[in-house]
Structure 1
Amino acid sequence: MAGVRLEAITWDRLGDLLAERLLDLEPADGSPWPRIAFDGAPAARPGDLAERVAEALRTLGRPSLVVGTEGFLRPASLRLEHGRRDVDAYFDGWFDTGALWREVFGPLEPGGDGRVLPDLRDPATDRATRSPYVRLRPGSCLLLHGPLLLRHWFPFDLTVHLRLSPGALRRRTPETDHWTLPAYERYEAETDPAGAADVLVRADDPRHPAWSG
């Protein structure tokens, strides 16, 4: 993040500016559905920003669908095979990336039918949600939020990374989840999400974000 100039902003204003940016966003691969990542640890609350952008898009007359990766966890029998606090499993095997490709990104490829599954599995009950498919009409935006998103080669047209400093990440992560922190250290080292993202949001102070877009 060295050398990046960040400007103070409010969350509402950030949501508005991102929504305005999406109005003119044209996918490079010719898909009629822009796909946007809101990447960040749960403590950074990337889903909140995705919802703000969705609301701003509604005001502007642009439909969107917010999808969280927590709805695409692999079954507990697989992701907890090596215990409940296995960092490598969290980094590599908690989220069902195959299902995300099949049920979310595949239908939004050029020539796709736009029929997206918003979630697959309830993270609390570990059972299938049986949610109905949602058909996105051309021009609708997919707003996908979750952690560790920028390491999977998903075909995003715009990426937003909500960054927490190591200290803020530790403070804002529940103590019962501190075992996941090494996974984010590895993510920083291997992926450099702050440098890779199109838009960087510093979220150390939840009341006073800053951004560079």
Structure 2
Amino acid sequence: MLDAVSARLAEQDPGHPLRVGIDGVCGAGKTTFANELAAQLASTGRAVLRLDSDGFHHVRHIRYRQGRESARGYYEDAYDFDALRRLTLEPLGPGGSRRYAWHVHDLATDEVEPRFAEAEPDAIVVFDATFLQRDELRECWDEVIFLDAPRERALERGARRDAASLGGLDAARLVYDARYMAACDLYLAEQDPRTRASIVIDNADPAHPLLARR
């Protein structure tokens, strides 16, 4: 499956870095898949830029302005997609300077301090994030890979991953259901990201992902 997807991506030359978004609900396995895809693409000889949403959060007072338990707040306010578009995706797109921000916000310090680098003209950008097909970003991707996973499996994976930081497994399950997965429910209903993606991966079992559509 990785061979097929990486071959499709590596053969493209849009005249600027190829911007590939890895989409899916919380706990769908985006980070693991993106890391594996980036490694596979690097083996083809193309320059690969591996970016993720951790460097593009809003500052705390914006992230939690609708409440720390608000699903709508997580969906609308967690990430600074305006900065991602202006400082990263547009410079990497058609006519862009290729000088892009690979990191804008530090979660630990809550400081905003963009860090920049310059991309090779034929680089492939692999960026994973939840909600990356929202209206303000949709036209900034050259390819979008949507990882499809059942809600209950994604919730359990996410809760187990973050149990230590969320007060234990039972508490993490409650938080995931009420805030994170509920936010993903909003995203699925409002944006229909599975249909809009160019590639769909059945990631119900991350050890055996299946190519559902390309």
Same fold by TM-score greater than 0.5? yes
Q: Following the alignment from structure 2 to structure 1, what is the Cα–Cα distance between the partners of residues 4 and 70?
A: 39
Q: TM-score by structure 1 length?
A: 0.84
Q: Classify 1:81/1:116 alpha carbon distance in 2 versus 1 (closer, same or farther; 3 Å).
A: same
Contact 1:15 1:49 in 2 (8 A): no
Q: Following the alignment from structure 1 to structure 2, what is the Cα–Cα distance between the partners of residues 46 and 58?
A: 18
Decide which of 140, 143, 146 is 1:161's aligned counterpart: 146
SS at match of 1:121: strand
SS at match of 1:208: coil
Q: Following the alignment from structure 2 to structure 1, what is the Cα–Cα distance between the partners of residues 26 and 53?
A: 11
- Spell out the pairing of 1:2-17 with structure 2 (5 A cutoff): 14-17=1-4
Q: 1:37 deviation in Å?
A: 0.8
Aligned position for 1:140: 123
SS at match of 2:41: helix
2:209 matched to 1:196? no
Q: 1:166 deviation in Å?
A: 2.1
Structure 2 gap segments, 5+ residues each:
160-172
Report the count of equivalent residues: 196
The one-letter amino acid of 2:38's match is A
Aligned position for 2:31: 47
Decide which of 98, 120, 134 is 1:151's aligned counterpart: 134
Provide, for residues 145-174 of structure 1, a one-character-per-residue CA deviation record: whole Å limited to 9, x for no partner: 110111232421111001111222232231
Q: Following the alignment from structure 2 to structure 1, what is the Cα–Cα distance between the partners of residues 132 and 115?
A: 24
Decide which of 63, 79, 89 is 2:63's aligned counterpart: 79
Structure 1 gap segments, 5+ residues each:
1-13
Contact 1:39 1:146 in 2 (8 A): yes
2:63 matched to 1:63? no
Contact 2:18 2:122 in 1 (8 A): yes
